[in-house]
Amino acid sequence: MRAQVGLCFSFVLAGLSPTVPIFAIALGLQGLLGGTFSASNAYLAGNLPRGALAEGLHLTQATARLALILSPMMIGLMIDQGLSAQRIYLWGAILPAIAAILSLSLPSGPVHQPGSPEPSAELSKRRSVSLAVILAADAGFTVMLIGSFPYLVPYCISQFHVGASAAGWLFGLPHVVYLFTFVPLGRFLRRQTDILRWFAVGCTILAATLAAQALSASLPGFIAARALMGIGMTLGYLTLNILVADRISHHDAGRNFGLFDSVGKIATVIAGVGAGEVASLRGTADVLFASALVGLFPVALALGAYRHAETKTLLDAR
């Protein structure tokens, strides 16, 4: 609840800021006082048995995808109707206020019972992945995915001559794909033991479709690339959720999810600064290319960690 109240306060301050410095402070407070996503995940980790945690993380990620679908479209509609960008923050403050009120009804202690389901057989067969590898994979995936976010809507408007609301739909398309595919893909991945390899597959698809978007000269081709990007993004998020759920325990959930949140924020800053430099020097299309190149890092990291685990298993068997 504290995170939701902090986010509400910073949104109100941003919407009422009379000067640029105060507005910048309000934006900084959103990161400092927010952290709602990591707080939600930490709550789930402390209240769900390990076998069910990954599914819980998939659902919280689904809410984030839904927000990324609706918010660009709503903001585009508001801008098309003449509402100033700063005033949109005041409307946005309503949402964390509602969330803070709803959080009052949540139980304060663990809700699972001693007889909760044990981890599945597939989970017990999975090799443990170090927290450092998961954090690095998450950082690389975040930089690759986030880099093009601020530029995609204006790129669609200038490249394909669509309105702001239609550009918002194009932005949200991969997240729509997540909502339609995360349940069947989650069931499939739950039966797999080589999660790192599937993470590498997701990152490869994501990188390839980012490059395809940069090369697309037609709107249908761009739409197809965005849709396929959703498959890669979904695989990436689901496999990361499974790796995290397999690694984190109840007693250190808050600290570790706070660490993931910090790494994610740092990766977002790196993505934003790097994309800004590429956009100013080379243009928006090259931001998509640069994001695709970044994807080589998490792919190489995941495959390297997988092969290391395979080698270690063979040596231990001897």
2-105+118-317 sits in which CATH class?
mainly alpha
Could you tell me the pTM of the whole model?
0.85
Nearest-angstrom CA–CA distance, 50 and 195: 16
- 251 C-beta neighbours (distance < 10 Å), count: 9
Q: How confident is the model at residue 195 (pLDDT cuts 50, 70, 90)?
A: very high
Report the pLDDT averaged over residues 283-293: 94
Query: What pLDDT is stored for residue 311 in this prediction?
Result: 78
Residue 53 half-sphere exposure toward CB, CA atoms < 13 A: 30
Query: What pLDDT is stored for residue 278 in this prediction?
Result: 95
Contact yes or no for 47/259 (Cβ under 8 A): no
Q: For 65-123, what is each residue's pLDDT tens digit?
A: 998 888 877 887 888 788 887 888 888 889 889 988 988 888 766 555 444 445 555 55
Q: What share of the chain is helix, strand, coil (3-state, %, to 5)?
A: 85, 0, 15
Q: How confident is the model at residue 34 (pLDDT cuts 50, 70, 90)?
A: low
Average pLDDT of every residue of the chain: 87
Q: How confident is the model at residue 317 (pLDDT cuts 50, 70, 90)?
A: low
Report the pLDDT averaged over residues 36-46: 81
DSSP 187-241: HHHHT-S-HHHHHHHHHHHHHHHHHHHHH--SHHHHHHHHHHHHHHHHHHHHHHH
Q: How confident is the model at residue 258 (pLDDT cuts 50, 70, 90)?
A: confident
Query: What pLDDT is stored for residue 318 in this prediction?
Result: 64
List the domain boundaries for the chain: 2-105+118-317
Percent of the chain clearing pLDDT 90 (strictly above): 48
Q: For 268-280, what is each residue's pLDDT tens digit?
A: 999 999 999 999 9
Q: How confident is the model at residue 36 (pLDDT cuts 50, 70, 90)?
A: confident
Query: What pLDDT is stored for residue 201 in this prediction?
Result: 98
Report the pLDDT averaged over residues 303-313: 84
Query: What pLDDT is stored for residue 224 in this prediction?
Result: 98
Query: What pLDDT is stored for residue 116 in this prediction?
Result: 45
Report the pLDDT averaged over residues 155-169: 89
The yes-or-no verdict on residue 267 having pLDDT over 60 is yes
